Amino acid sequence: MHTLITGASSGLGTIFADRFARRGHDLILVARRTDRLEALATRLSSGYGIDVQVIGQDLAREGAPEALMTEIERRGLEVDVLVNNAGFATIRPVKDSTPGTLEKQVQLNCVTPVGLAARVLPAMRERGRGTIINIASTGAYQPIPDMAVYAASKSLVLSFSEALWYEEKKHGIRVLAACPGPMNTEFFDNAEATGLALPMQSPDHLVDTTLKKLDGSAPSFIDGFANTVLAKVIIPRAPKKLVLKVAHRIALG
Ligand SMILES: NC(=O)c1ccc[n+]([C@@H]2O[C@H](COP(=O)([O-])OP(=O)(O)OC[C@H]3O[C@@H](n4cnc5c(N)ncnc54)[C@H](OP(=O)(O)O)[C@@H]3O)[C@@H](O)[C@H]2O)c1
């Protein structure tokens, strides 16, 4: 049995790989930068005596979930834990964006996690156990001008995860969505963000909290007290125009 982690070449994905390796899980690491994945695989397999498989794949391509599962089956591997982590954002108005880049965000952040979950579920159902972790975001809780597609993509991840949690809870399959706020990873560099002065959370804290939350029964969680109050108390009550204005200011930095 293997734990499949998408986006394992940096940030949260690398930390998830480390934590699952410590727990003795065999791993399948997926991303585009295979040099990083190979180095991580060497470190984790020799450090923890586990099997680590590396698959270099662009998960923003159409048909990516099918192609990835075909490769996993070709290698004779089974997925017991799925961590849908790979994702990216762009910070600019829709009119200034390349349509293809917006489409890739939907593909990577939404289509691929949904497609992978749907493909690993039947075998998990047969075994009567399995875990699916989906990385959403506090961005799931409100629209964000200049990050319109990203915030919408994370709303899908959150909504999908919570419904899937309900569908699978009686079948031994644990589904959990994590909603982190801004964290120190390569995420904002890749989004070409400039001048952001947001308080950053620790990606290690997010991963460790996610693993603790797996022992509970909640379908999702928001990382941090302030983020939770904002998302659950303030945003639902505030006028939408104000929410949009404040979210826009934050996205602009
Ligand atoms: N950091 C934040 O502030 C923050 C906040 C809330 C939610 N999140 C979410 O947390 C998750 C992890 O992000 P992170 O913060 O760890 O960012 P990161 O350091 O930029 O890592 C992103 C990972 O996704 C992979 N990836 C990107 N495009 C890919 C593609 N086309 N095909 C395959 N893999 C791809 C990257 O690998 P390659 O480039 O090697 O392919 C990398 O391993 C994402 O879903 C993100 O939306 C992040």
Q: Which residues lie below 8 Å from residue 168, measured CB to CB, with a gap of 6+?
A: 121, 125, 132, 174, 175
pLDDT at 250 (0 to 100):
82
pLDDT at 184 (0 to 100):
93
Choosing from 14, 83, 85 the residue with most ligand 1 atoms within 8 A of its CB, the one to mutate for a pocket test is 85
pLDDT beyond 90 at 157:
yes
pLDDT at 96 (0 to 100):
96
Q: Give 35-66 pLDDT, tens digit per residue.
A: 999 999 999 999 999 999 999 999 999 999 99
Q: Give 158-202 pLDDT, tens digit per residue.
A: 999 999 999 999 999 999 999 999 999 999 989 987 766 778 999
Q: Which residues lie below 8 Å from residue 1, measured CB to CB, with a gap of 6+?
A: 25, 26, 78, 79, 80
Q: Which residues lie below 8 Å from residue 76, measured CB to CB, with a gap of 6+?
A: none
Mean pLDDT of 76-93: 98
Q: Whose CA is nearest to atom 47 of ligand 1?
A: 87
Q: Give 86-145 pLDDT, tens digit per residue.
A: 999 999 999 999 999 999 999 999 999 999 999 999 999 999 999 999 999 999 999 999
Q: How far is the CA of 88 from the centre of ligand 1 (A)?
A: 5
Query: At residue 135, what is the residue type?
Result: I
Q: Give 209-229 pLDDT, tens digit per residue.
A: 999 999 999 999 999 999 999
**What are the residue ranges of helices labelled H in 129-180?**
148-168
Q: Give 3-32 pLDDT, tens digit per residue.
A: 999 999 999 999 999 999 999 999 999 999
Mean pLDDT of 240-246: 95
Considering only CA atoms, which of 69, 143, 61 is closest in space to residue 106?
Answer: 61
- Chain centroid to CA 154: how far? 9
pLDDT beyond 70 at 253:
no
Q: Which residues lie below 8 Å from residue 161, measured CB to CB, with a gap of 6+?
A: 132, 134, 136, 175, 176, 177, 219, 220
12 touches 206 (CB < 8 A): yes
Q: Whose CA is nearest to atom 20 of ligand 1?
A: 187
Which domains can be identified in the chain, with CATH numbers?
2-252 (3.40.50.720)
pLDDT at 48 (0 to 100):
98
The position carrying tokens 């991963």 is 207
Q: Whose CA is nearest to atom 3 of ligand 1?
A: 182
Q: Which residues pair with 8 in a beta bridge?
A: none
